[in-house]
Structure 1
Amino acid sequence: MASITIPPRAAGICLVAASAAFFSTAGIFTRGTAAAAWVIIFWRGLAAAGFTLAWLAVRGALAAEVRALDRRGWLIAVMGAAGSAAFIPAFKLSSVANVALIYAAAPFAAAALAWLALRERPPARVMLASAAALGGVAVIVSGSLGKGSLAGDGLALFMTLMMAGIMTAYRKWPEVTAAFPNAVSSLLLPVAVLCVPVAEVPAEELPVLVLFGLAFAVASVTLCEGARRLPAAETALLSALETPLAPLLAFLILAERPGPQTMAGGVVILAAVLWSQRPARRRGAPTACR
């Protein structure tokens, strides 16, 4: 039976889109539990690291990935830990929609970092779609002004910068492994917060936090695997799919009703992402968007 080969760009698009879907559940898990932010970070980190290490062991790749961890992998792990440290408190201090829409600025942060570090100029289609996505963000913000928390929004922005850094790092060093640095990233924060009374979590919420760790592990690995196959700005733009998905899940599960501006802005962002993925055409022939 002939094997099916998926083009790297198509695989990258699928992986990053799947990552956005899993990441969009973060607000549901965080706002849906009564545990404090650092308690959530502790249990989610342990669960995510455990699932990732178990997956590597089953694949027989754990020893190889441990040996492959170098300064580049540690840099990615530290950026991931720093982003996570800001991500969960941001949801506690601000709304799901606010955090998700601030993350939509990642294409611009990633494009700037890639320009500085890689001299990689994004295609015109990606830049135009990014501008449209920013317009969608502006529409959402217009309905959220005065309702969010400045501290929460600042933490969300810091998380966005860390994620853009990770995307750019994997574009620069595609040979760096994805899974083990993410496991290290997940373990760094639990070690840092051992002094927090992490055991003080209701028994019924612990399975939810473990499931949160699994979702985060899957989202992180698929994002890093996708980022090595796509330009940094395009990876960030695809990740913006999280922006309309997160408020939608918050509405369906937490009954957080998004306003008309949030819904309209989400449609604009989703349309921009989909349009950016249409293959460019030159003289009737499809070409790769690189």
Structure 2
Amino acid sequence: MSAFASLSHRQQGLLLTAGGALIMAPDALLIKVANLPDAEILMWRGFLSALGFFLIALMRHGNGIWGVYRRCGWTGIAVALLFSLTTCGFVLGNQYTKAGNVLMILAGAPLIAAALSWVVLKERLPRRTWIAIWLCLAGIAMIALDDAGAGSWVGNAFALMAATTLAINFTLCRTRPGIDMSPMLVFNGIIVGSVAGLFWLAGGEPSLPATNQLAVVVLLCLIIVPCGVTLLQRGPLYLPAAEVGLLLLLEVVVGTLLAWWIISEQPAPMALVGGALVLGTLTVKGLYERRLELRLRAGAGAALQQRAEGADTV
């Protein structure tokens, strides 16, 4: 048995989702570093990520890949369309406003996901999850407070679209428990790349980006995005949608720190306090729930042992 398989269902979900969030942390930064026009960055991101998603699906499923696509059905098509809107919203948001604004608005996804899960899936969230969501959102607000007056309403609107469609996407995945929707992200890339490519061709004389820009685009779109998003897309198979969204806040904090380090977007002292609040909240919540899980497993084990002893005495 592999180390991953030996983990509990919840632990697997936490590992997949947190890993995906950390891999995706440089996303906003690298979009800024690439510094390409809207249609061009979306075209490269679409086609290259589609190739990356397909290679990952092929490695995971081999000859059974076509059966995986059939199992996703119409829900999978909806997931691909929704993630296309998320991709466009996130990339265009970073094109028109500061990365901190986009990440702060994207942090609203847990609240949207929680509301949708409550309404659509009738999921009851424990009080500690709601408290953690509000504490994390307060921390994210502190992180981006120094950017509050610098954002464009166009960029903020695109970021809100990304947050909303991401929350709907995760909630929709929860309606098909046990079905991995991540292979459908190939079609998300094809949709985004094709539409953006038409705008790129119509915009004048298309040309390849400079070598350094192309290197950044390949790293981001062929490697980081497919690997990170595949892990994130599998999160709802293991965790409630709101908790998947909550772990996405790791991307916000780490992404802000990377922007500070690489391109000198130094956050205000209040932003540092906000980052500590987010990480501290996630750490405390994780440790507390780990203790609860161990206690429940110990109780279940004791109950089984008592039943076995009772059966032996009969």
Q: Which amino acid aligns with 2:181?
A: A
Aligned residue number for residue 70 of structure 1: 73
- Native 8 Å contact 1:72 1:176 kept in 2: no
Q: CA deviation at 1:142?
A: 3.4
Aligned residue number for residue 304 of structure 2: none
Aligned residue number for residue 200 of structure 1: 207
Aligned residue number for residue 13 of structure 1: 14
Q: Deviations over 1:43-77 (max 9, x none)?
A: 11111111121222233042222332411001111
Number of equivalenced pairs: 287
Q: Which amino acid aligns with 2:28?
A: G
Tell me the TM-score normalised to structure 1 length: 0.92
Distance 1:3 1:86, change over 3 A: closer
Aligned residue number for residue 52 of structure 1: 53
Q: Deviations over 1:239-282 (max 9, x none)?
A: 11111111111111112111222221111111122222123499
Max radius of gyration: which structure? 2
Q: CA deviation at 1:186?
A: 1.2
> In angstroms, what is the RMSD of aligned CA positions?
2.1
Aligned residue number for residue 161 of structure 2: 158
Aligned residue number for residue 33 of structure 1: 34
Aligned residue number for residue 23 of structure 2: 22
Q: Which amino acid aligns with 1:208?
A: V
- 2:218, 2:145 → 1: CA distance? 36
Q: Which moved more, 1:196-205 or 1:94-103?
A: 196-205
Aligned residue number for residue 95 of structure 1: 98
Aligned residue number for residue 232 of structure 2: 223
- 1:230, 1:284 → 2: CA distance? 14
Distance 1:282 1:10, change over 3 A: closer
Say if 2:239 is the partner of 1:238: no
Q: Which amino acid aligns with 2:27?
A: A
- 1:143, 1:253 → 2: CA distance? 18
Q: Which amino acid aligns with 2:46?
A: G
Q: Unaligned 5+ residue runs, structure 1?
A: none
Aligned residue number for residue 189 of structure 2: 186
- Native 8 Å contact 1:244 1:263 kept in 2: no
Correspondence for 1:257 among 252, 266, 274: 266
Say if 2:89 is the partner of 1:86: yes
Q: CA deviation at 1:175?
A: 2.9
Q: CA deviation at 1:34?
A: 2.3
Structure number with the higher helix fraction is 2
Q: CA deviation at 1:128?
A: 0.8
Q: Unaligned 5+ residue runs, structure 2?
A: 298-314
Q: CA deviation at 1:284?
A: 11
Say if 2:43 is the partner of 1:42: yes
Tell me the TM-score normalised to structure 2 length: 0.85
Q: Deviations over 1:6-41 (max 9, x none)?
A: 211111101111111122211121100121122111
- Native 8 Å contact 1:46 1:187 kept in 2: yes
- 2:293, 2:245 → 1: CA distance? 28
Deviation >3 Å, runs of 4+ = 279-285
The DSSP-based 3-state class of the residue aligned with 2:197 is coil
Q: Deviations over 1:148-205 (max 9, x none)?
A: 1121112111101111111111222123322321111111111212323364342312
- 2:253, 2:65 → 1: CA distance? 36
Q: Which amino acid aligns with 2:86?
A: G
Give the percent of matched residue pairs that are identical in Structure 1 and Structure 2. 27
- Native 8 Å contact 1:140 1:265 kept in 2: yes
- 1:58, 1:285 → 2: CA distance? 34
The DSSP-based 3-state class of the residue aligned with 2:7 is coil
Q: Deviations over 1:123-144 (max 9, x none)?
A: 1111111111122133234332
- Native 8 Å contact 1:107 1:164 kept in 2: yes
